[in-house]
Structure 1
Amino acid sequence: MAFAEHGLELEDISKRSGYSRRALELIFKSNTGMPPGRWFMNIRLNGVMRDLLTATPDCLVIDVASKWGFRHLSRFSYQYRRAFGELPSETLRRATTRYL
């Protein structure tokens, strides 16, 4: 499992911590209630949402998504909608209407 977009590899964390990869996954899940991959995805999706909600009118969804390491925009949009119940463009539209 790689988190390369943030410079993290679960294998590296495992080696540095002295725990096996499996032990690290179990420890992570017992403390957060989810596997490391889902936790990191939630962090990134919440970061996107925060940036979209505080965006200026010239902001583009693609720029925010790229900033948070999302490269496949259709997959990103699907994950965002599944997490928040709306498309990222709808979040951005809600946020930028306050400038009008």
Structure 2
Amino acid sequence: MTKPNSRILELTTISGESLTLAGNRRIKKNTYVIIKTESTNNQISNMDTENGSYPIWGQKFNVNMPMHATFFTLEVRCKNSYGDHAVGSVKVER
């Protein structure tokens, strides 16, 4: 349901290619995507546990974007025994 003064943005997280951590360490498993907007709750994709540096999510999201929002951010993260790590991010502006 759309909130007043907002719009729905449909996003699909598809996959990643050749993802690495700092120092070009290959990712073995447990990657996911966080969708962030200026003033709404973050949405998190399912975790890919099998495809390492070539994750596949194939997940569709309906993101409630405030009308005043000028961008959203996609952040890829990886969870391993040493903690939760940022792999990369992109800021998409309208």
Compute the TM-score of the two structures, normalised by the length of structure 1.
0.23
As a proportion of its length, which structure holds more strand?
2
As a proportion of its length, which structure holds more helix?
1
Structure with higher RCO (Cα < 8 A, 6+ apart)? 2
Compute the TM-score of the two structures, normalised by the length of structure 2.
0.23
